[in-house]
Amino acid sequence: MTRAYVAETGNGSAEGERSGSRVRRLLDGWKNDPGIWRRGLVLAGLAVLIALVMLVHAKIPNRIGNLGSLTETFLPWLGVFVPVLLGLALWRRSATALIALVLPALVWLNLFGGLLTDKESKGGNLVVATHNVNADNPDPAGTARDLIASGADVLALEELPGRSVDAYEKALAATYPHHSVQGTVGLWSKYPLSDAEPVDIRMGWTRAMRATVSTPAGQVKVYVAHMPSVRVKLSAGFTARQRDASADALGDAIASEPVRKVVLLGDLNGTMNDRALNNITSQMRSTQGAAGNGFGFTWPASFPMARIDQIMVKGVEPKSSWTLGRTPSDHLPIAARLKI
């Protein structure tokens, strides 16, 4: 047993020495390479450019195809280029590119590193959830059952077609005795609702509402909204003018809300980085940013790339935030636990 252990330890030491020898040879090769600083200048330039885009994204103008908002929608994904450029820099044996890559790495960590930590905490007395159920959802009853399983006390649904409202009402009735549907959005609650009414977001038809929810911990005003869709077109760029106008109108309504405790649930068709939502984000907190774990991307459901569905609060403390399992919709539902 002792001899076997010694032999095994010796083999491990020999392997470690061989690995160290390879590293030393690699470093010696780089040290003696006269082109180490001249190669990879293009890679270094790309690294600096990516860092600059992340640093000054707010300065990118929206005059041409809403380029600024488009960049901000997918801003976290610029971090993908860092490991790609790192691999290319190592392959090219470029010290210049490796040093330049420190800049985008640090900028990305400064912007998004906080989202990688788990900020969930215990406590809370109200669970809320929201889901764009998709107008073409083939299984409203099954979707409703999945949402009930989330344990939400208050549930918001967006993109409700008139032909499916009855199906959702029947499936949710036993769990949520109180509900209101306004246009294509609806709110279901285990607690009494009052003052339910549409909210004008300058669309010509109702895609936003608000209601007072009387929870055991006190009253809270809950807004449900479905912002107009945005499109990316080669001829027009990122077309979001109607979404931007609706976001401004919703922000004005929330700002004038006399109730101090406000929760916003819905599909905003925009991320927290998108300047077009400033009238909302400047006065409310995202539960994912304050109490989530990760980016919480919600769209498209098949391969989520952006969090355009939001739970936001004002005068309420978020305790945790998470993404629910996939339904037949092209969006993922989300939920949060709040302390009223």
Q: Which amino acid is at 126?
A: L
**Cβ atoms within 10 Å, residue 54:** 20
Query: Given this model, what pLDDT does residue 239 score?
Result: 55
**Residue among 125, 75, 120, 82 nearest 104 (CA):** 82
On the question of pLDDT at 27 being above 60, the answer is: no
Among 17-26, 50-59, 235-244, which stretch is predicted with the lowest mean pLDDT?
17-26
Q: What are phi and psi of 127, to 5 degrees?
A: -105, 125
Express as a percent the part of the chain with pLDDT over 70.
Answer: 88
Tokens of 38: 């001249």
Helices (H), the chain: 2-31, 41-55, 67-73, 81-92, 95-100, 102-112, 140-148, 162-172, 241-255, 278-281, 287-291
Q: What angle do CA 56, 61, 251 make, to 5 degrees?
A: 90
Rounded CA-CA distance 336/233 in Å is 34
- Is residue 293 helix, strand or coil? strand
Is the Cα torsion angle 111, 238, 224, 175 positive or negative in sign?
negative
Architecture per CATH, 126-339: 4-Layer Sandwich (3.60)
On the question of pLDDT at 3 being above 60, the answer is: no
pLDDT bucket at 236, cuts 50 / 70 / 90: very low
Higher pLDDT, 18 or 312: 312
Rounded CA-CA distance 165/161 in Å is 7
Are 291 and 336 a contacting pair, CB within 8 Å?
A: yes
Rounded CA-CA distance 155/292 in Å is 19
Rounded CA-CA distance 199/251 in Å is 11
Rounded CA-CA distance 160/266 in Å is 12
Are 338 and 126 a contacting pair, CB within 8 Å?
A: yes
On the question of pLDDT at 228 being above 80, the answer is: yes
Could you read off the pLDDT of 57-92 as tens digits, one per residue?
999 988 777 788 889 999 999 999 999 999 999 998
pTM: 0.86
Express as a percent the part of the chain with pLDDT over 90.
Answer: 77
Helix or strand run (H / E) with residue 237? strand 237-239
Rounded CA-CA distance 197/206 in Å is 10
- Write out 153-169 in H/E/C secondary structure: CEEEEECCCHHHHHHHH
Higher pLDDT, 276 or 33: 276
Could you read off the pLDDT of 174-227 as tens digits, one per residue?
999 999 999 999 999 999 999 999 999 999 899 999 999 999 999 999 999 999
Could you read off the pLDDT of 139-173 as tens digits, one per residue?
999 999 999 999 999 999 999 999 999 999 999 99
On the question of pLDDT at 8 being above 70, the answer is: no
Average pLDDT, the chain: 90
> Domain residues of the chain, as ranges?
33-116, 126-339
Query: Given this model, what pLDDT does residue 234 score?
Result: 47
